[in-house]
A = this chain, B = another copy of it.
Amino acid sequence: MKRSCHHEQALETPVITRRKLLTGAGKLAAGAVLATAGGFSLASTATARSTYPWPHKTIDPQKAGDIAYENWYKDFCCYATVSGILVPLQESVGEPYASLPLEAFRFGHGGTVGWGTLCGTLLGASIAASFVAGRDGEKIANDVIAWYTTTDLPVYAPASPKAAIKNTNRSDSPLCHVSVSKWMEKEGVEFFTPQRKDRCARLAADVAMKTSVLLNEWAAGTYKPVHGSQAKTHNRPAQNNCDGCHG
């Protein structure tokens, strides 16, 4: 990757004054820059934490979806979705998003390393929403999960599909195992097939797009949470398809 002009200037500058550090700080807090220049971490910790949640700039939902679809084929569903939402912010906002290694969220594939629990697209959405919107990110995650369980998916149409698929389905569950099993039965395919992979890649795009729309509304002050508390409704953490296991 081509390094930025500013970076090259820094490499060629033998003496950097504090003023230059401060005026060159850009979007970073001055304290964080000075702390980093001092090579010590605790002060910058305090500064970094004080900036949480991280800044929002409008995310193009289509771009988020396109990144998510393509990135599914790099590192699967959770990475795909979190990168669909956060790569645009790495580009438009820069730090602190830019230093977050999004590969760290690859583990969410298959409902977390294949255990079939929370759909990795929903985990990626929850992670991204939390970095951007803090505690309000939990409301957004809650709404995205509720929407996922009650919507026929996927609906994203790739410009260049890597496989053709015929069916959408309503999962009634946030669980990877339930969601993908229902779709596979309807489509008539097994798990390790190009069709199933493309279904999950398209789903990542749908979830990245939905989450980006809600984050944009949140930043604009127009977001209204719609889904209630699962734990209060059921008097314990639970999904809503009780009969799926207890019926």
Report A's interface with B, CB cutoff 8 A: 1, 3-4, 6-7, 9-11, 13-18, 21, 23-28, 32-46, 48-49, 52-54, 90, 93-96, 98-101, 103-108, 110-118, 122-123, 126-127, 129-131, 134-135, 137-138, 141-142, 145, 174-177, 180-181, 184, 190-192, 229-232, 234-239, 244-245
Contact = CB atoms under 8 A, between A and B. Distances in A.
Contacts of A239: 115-117, 177
A104 B52 contact: yes
The quantity of this chain's copies bound in the complex is 2
B244 A45 contact: no
Given A10-B35, A130-B107, A41 B94 contact: yes
A112 B112 CA distance: 13
A110 B180 CA distance: 22
B90 A107 contact: no
A40 B110 CA distance: 36
A26 to B, nearest CB: 4
Contact of A33 (B24, B39, B43, B113): B39
A101 to B, nearest CB: 4
Contact of A145 (B98, B112, B137, B245): B112
A137 B237 CA distance: 27
Given A53-B104, A115-B237, A117-B118, 16 more contacts: A1-B46, A4-B42, A6-B40, A7-B42, A14-B18, A15-B18, A16-B18, A37-B37, A41-B98, A48-B101, A54-B101, A105-B127, A107-B138, A110-B231, A115-B142, A116-B230
A174 B115 contact: yes
B141 A101 contact: no
A237 B44 contact: no
A16 B37 contact: yes
